[in-house]
Amino acid sequence: IRNSTIQDKMKVVLVFAVAIAFVAAAPQSSDRDAQIVKSVLDNIGTDGYNFEYETSNGIAAQEQGQLRNAGSENEIMAVQGQFKYVGPDGVTYTVTYTADENGFQPQGAHLPVAP
- Could you read off the pLDDT of 34-63 as tens digits, one per residue? 999 999 988 877 778 999 999 999 999 999
Taking residues 26-40, what's their average pLDDT? Answer: 79
Q: Is the pLDDT of residue 2 over 50?
A: no
Among the residues of 26-86, which ranges form H helices?
Answer: none
pLDDT at 28: 53
Residue among 28, 41, 23 nearest 86 (CA): 28
pLDDT at 62: 95
pLDDT at 112: 87
Taking residues 87-111, what's their average pLDDT? Answer: 92
Distances (CA, A) of 102 to 78, 79, 97, 99: 10, 11, 12, 7
